[in-house]
Amino acid sequence: MPANYNDFVASTYVRYVRDKTKSIQQKINRTNCQKTNLDTEDGAMPLIPTLLRQPLQAFLLIVIAAVLGGCAITLQQPAENATVTLPSKTKVVVTGNASYSGLKVTIDGIDVSNQLASVGTNRDEGDVSVAVGTHLITATAEVYCWYCTGSKTLSTDTNNFTVVANAFIDIEAGESHTCAVAADNRAYCWGDNTHGQLGTGALPDLTCTLNTLQPSRPCQLTPVEVSGGLRFKSVSAGEGHSCGITTAGEVYCWGKNHRGQLGNGSIVASRTPVKVPHGHTFKAVSAGGNHACAIDDQNWLFCWGDNGRGQLGAMGLTGCPTGTPSQCSTTPVRQGTGTSWGSLLFYEVSAGAMHTCASNHVDIKCWGDNANGQLGNGQSGAGTGGANAGLTLSGFTSYATPAGSTLGAGLSAGVFHTCAFRPTGSGAACWGANNSGQLGGGWPQSSASSPMPVAAPGAVGSLTRGISAGTLHTCALFQSSTSGNIVPVCAGYNSDGQLGNGSQTTSNTFVRVSLSNPNQDFFKVSVGGRHSCALNITGRLTSTPGGTDFSGSAFCWGDNSFGQVGQAFQQTWTSPTLVHQP
């Protein structure tokens, strides 16, 4: 053993590092910058004692890593030849396997580098404005490359991608506003913003005037992104508030809150999304008149907001402002609380104006206001509504759309009526108010307290999944037996063109919506107060965080007094119009 053992170890280590580095440099793959596996290359360090091997090996790894470095940048997004189904922007991500500088990104030769920002080590990203069509994107930067001649090398990556306009994965029509989710999971809303139901935060509103006899309202005539930077997989638009489920399974609500319908423990309205604090992961949400309901990943149903008619499915609640007669809950309460029928498991829920319906895939249960027979339990009128209606459940056996299905809802609670699909192959049924023919069966009576079969338009097809009940009209998806296309059909009141058939004539049977291109398929339809919206199929998204298979363009029709149809000028639209691109 040498007199100075530490000197021996140090000199041996220096020789080893020098030889090891030379060996590894010779083995570097200059094409793809693959790193040599240090754990298996040339064995261990035989001359260095075991007690010293760990710290020396750690230091050696640092040295070798610096020598190896990297030599390329990569355009992670948009993917090569990808179809980017976003309304007007695409996310561009550039990464490097080493430090880089002087990054320049161009789309069709136009420099868009200023729209990207550094978001971490060797990573830049940003939402870049793009037009509809096919584009060439190029990223170029100087990359530090330790083994190359000089300290840097030029690296370029090039991809092709296509942008499809107006691609949405969900849409919901509220009383006088509309919300939708784009393929990048951003939420957009438009229309009446009196209570902040568009969720646009501090963004200045426009002013919409219905007529000289009524006061003007704040509004947005075209889609505006919901503030807060959240990513949603679904949204629901109610009377004066909206709710959505994020890709993380959290529920956020915004807008009117005088009955606690935002679910955040207060009665203060909010123009920005507020989280419904609960600690559960949710998979479905529905915003109604002044209440909302959501289903968690255990299929438990929770509701919050106004309970004046028992629409929360719970009894003995407090929480409304002092001096008001209604029951309320400003935070989620599990359905069945305080009742004799207890809590049940559900897979689909729909919150109406003052009643709620939910399905367990076997039958449908409804509770709340029943003045027009909207609970479907064979009763209606005085004495069958009010708070006590929450103790009565209808047992209408029906088909409700399974969780994760891509063809719209199988259950919908409107203002005074309800609709749902029967078991597969036996069509749909509606019940409740029928004063404008909104039940769609062609019947003369003003209401039906039990489910009535819905008639498809003519004898050339059948109603398929996807039905939506509004105030005085109903829309559904219809599959033609001749063309096979799935298109929207509507029935009921039509003073504002909400049936979409090019007229303003009310119909007590379903009529086909007038389409400029009848050879297209739709996967979602949603009805509001006096307007309707639908999504057609323009593409498939097999890996969308929202879980849907389809994306499409948004079409709306009917009353546009407050911009709820999504057009930049106000008028009545008696046939579908393409929603203005965000």
> For 261, phi and psi rounded to 5 degrees?
-70, -10
Q: Which tens digits make up the pLDDT trace of 387-400?
A: 334 334 444 444 33
552 has a pLDDT exceeding 70: yes
Task: Give me the domains of the chain, ranges plus CATH numbers.
Answer: 5-68 (no CATH), 73-163 (2.60.40.10), 168-578 (2.130.10.30)
Tokens 């003995």 sit at which residue? 316
pLDDT of residue 269: 96
Q: Which tens digits make up the pLDDT trace of 54-105?
A: 332 322 233 323 333 457 888 887 777 666 554 456 788 898 888 888 999 9
pLDDT of residue 571: 83
Mean pLDDT of 223-231: 94
Lowest-confidence range among 24-38, 118-132, 225-239, 385-399?
Answer: 24-38
Across all residues in the chain, what is the average pLDDT?
Answer: 78
Q: How does residue 240 score in pLDDT terms, banded at 50, 70 and 90?
A: very high
Q: How does residue 401 score in pLDDT terms, banded at 50, 70 and 90?
A: very low
Helices (H) and strands (E) in the chain, counts: 2, 40
525 has a pLDDT exceeding 80: yes
pLDDT of residue 253: 98
187 has a pLDDT exceeding 90: yes
pLDDT of residue 82: 67
- Per the model's pLDDT, the better-predicted residue between 168 and 324 turns out to be 168
298 has a pLDDT exceeding 50: yes
Mean pLDDT of 224-228: 95
Which range is most confident: 290-304, 441-455, 476-490? 290-304
Longest dimension (CA), the chain: 111
The pTM is what?
A: 0.72
Q: How far apart are CA 186 and CA 247, in angstroms?
A: 10
Token representation of residue 534:
């639908």
* Closest to 424 in 3D by CA, of 401, 454, 399, 460: 399
Buried/exposed code over 4-30 (b: 16+ C-beta within 10 A; e: otherwise)? eeeeebeeebeebeeebbeebeeebee
Q: How far does the chain reach from its first CA to its final CA, in angstroms?
A: 78
**Pseudo-torsion of CA 278, 284, 290, 291, nearest 10°?**
-50
Q: How does residue 330 score in pLDDT terms, banded at 50, 70 and 90?
A: very high
Question: In sequence order, which residues have a C-beta less than 8 Å from that of residue 540 and are 6 or more positions away?
Answer: 549, 550, 551
Q: How far apart are CA 205 and CA 134, in angstroms?
A: 34
Q: How far apart are CA 499 and CA 513, in angstroms?
A: 7
pLDDT of residue 24: 36
pLDDT of residue 128: 85
pLDDT of residue 540: 53
Token representation of residue 374:
């909207």
Q: Which tens digits make up the pLDDT trace of 17-32?
A: 334 333 333 333 333 3
pLDDT of residue 89: 66
Mean pLDDT of 299-324: 83
pLDDT of residue 501: 96
264 has a pLDDT exceeding 50: yes
- Per the model's pLDDT, the better-predicted residue between 127 and 199 turns out to be 199
Tell me the Ramachandran region of residue 46: left when phi exceeds 0, alpha when psi lies from -120 to 50, beta otherwise.
alpha
